[in-house]
Amino acid sequence: MQHGLLLAGLALVSSLSSGAATDSNVVTCGSILKLLNSDYSFRLHSHDVKYGSGSGQQSVTGVEQKEDVNSHWVVKAQTGELCERGEPIACGSTVRLEHLTTKKNLHSHHFSSPLSGEQEVSAYGTDGLGDTGDHWEVVCSNDSWMRSAHIRLRHIDTGMYLGMSGRSYGRPISGQMEIVGVHKQQHGTRWTTAEGLFIVPKEKSSTHEEYAHSEL
């Protein structure tokens, strides 16, 4: 039921006129967003399709279509901590990214990815609860994670950077790109926010909750 309400809210917000949006440029806790790879222009994606090798967990891929509803991720605090809705995400913070549709977290671990043999990236957990393999450091150069900025996501447990290998899958997910963890900040590891529902920073909002959004 909660998932249905969130999707309904996304549809409602996307129908609002652009004039209703705030000019806030900060990514905040609770925001629902799509992450666009700055080097390949593919969006971070997941779906109920498991890897046929490695961990066998839910696969994470890159897709080119911006309209795909399976590319929404919810920004949350690390396991065992809380962040208030609308709290700006500081550069250097540790976050989790929960896949909106399947309630699994962006995850990595010491398994090899199926195409390039780099570190596997999967979606893991139940109803948003997983383990420390879901923790990612937001690597950026401002005080806070800015929507317009290029960032990197460094996996806390293994030190790997979230990236794209440049290799694409065949059936049943033809054309989707491999998402991996790599040792260094290299081509394919830069990300920026694309479409989403962004909660206005608390100190800037009024007595009711406000949103900044782009086309979802």
Q: Cβ-count burial of 188 within 10 angstroms (0-12 exposed, 13-18 middle, 19+ buried)?
A: buried
Dihedral sign of CA atoms 152, 136, 183, 118 in order: negative
- Token output for 24: 């806030």
The parent domain of residue 181 ranges over 2-213
Could you tell me if 212 and 195 are in contact, meaning their C-beta atoms sit under 8 angstroms apart? no
Residue 16 has pLDDT above 60, yes or no: no
Q: What CATH number does residue 65 fall under? A: 2.80.10.50
Neighbour tally for 100: CB within 10 Å: 21
Residue 2 has pLDDT above 60, yes or no: no
**How distant is the alpha carbon of residue 196 from its chain centre?**
11
pLDDT tens figures, 147-187: 999 999 999 999 999 999 999 999 888 999 999 999 999 99
Residue 106 has pLDDT above 50, yes or no: yes
Residue 99 has pLDDT above 70, yes or no: yes
pLDDT tens figures, 39-85: 999 999 999 999 999 999 999 999 999 999 999 999 999 999 999 99
**What's the domain count of the chain?**
1
Alpha-helical segments (H) within 118-215: none
Q: Does pTM surpass 0.75?
A: yes
| Per-residue three-class SS string for 104-130 | CEEEEEEEECCCCCCEEEEEECECCEC
Q: How far is CA 208 from CA 15, 16, 197, 204, in A?
A: 20, 17, 16, 11
Residue-by-residue DSSP string for 87-104: -B-BTT-EEEEEETTT--
CA–CA distance, 168 with 87 (Å, rounded to integer): 36
